[in-house]
Structure 1
Amino acid sequence: MHLIKLFNKWRNERFEEHVSKMKVENKCPDCYGRGFIVYPANVYSFHSDHFRCPGCEGSGLYEDWKPH
Structure 2
Amino acid sequence: MSLDAQLLAAHAEGDTDRLVTLYAQAAASADDPDTAGFYLTHAYVFALEAGLPQAADLRAQLIETGREEPL
Please report the TM-score for the alignment, with normalisation by the length of structure 1: 0.35
Higher helix share: 2
Higher strand share: 1
Specify which structure has the bigger relative contact order, considering alpha-carbon pairs within 8 angstroms and separated by 6 or more residues. 1
Q: Which has the larger radius of gyration?
A: 1
